[in-house]
Amino acid sequence: MQANQTHTNASARARSHVHPTSHATGPVGPVQSTNPPGGPLVEHEYLFDVRLFASIRVRAASQKEALKMLSESLHCETVSLGEWSDGSQILAEVSADDDADLIEVDGVDVT
């Protein structure tokens, strides 16, 4: 329970540091319009669910242990994927699925 609460607090901190118009793909705080009341809304913020592919090296005693480490460590974590053209961070919330493909062991391809 405490680990989940720690994650929730970390997510809340991450959301509080992102400007509403930063174009972040991850969690952000409430969007507040900078337009005058009753005026036209000029900018919108869109949230997309995007599937990304990543290769992650894990040091563990066994493949089973490595998969467990991935599953436990990558659960709704906020990461930076670089910057947008305006310099704001590209943020994403990532989780590992339970269908990781093993492609290499100790530097040797297994596919």
What residue segments make up the domains of the chain, in order of their start? 2-29+47-109
Query: Would you say the pTM of this structure is higher than 0.75?
Result: no
* pLDDT over 90 percentage in the chain: 34
More confident residue, 40 or 31: 40
DSSP string, 8-57: HHHHHHHHHTS-TTS--SS--------SPTTSPP----------------
Q: What is the pLDDT of residues 48-92, one digit of tens each?
A: 888 888 899 999 999 999 999 988 888 888 999 999 999 999 999
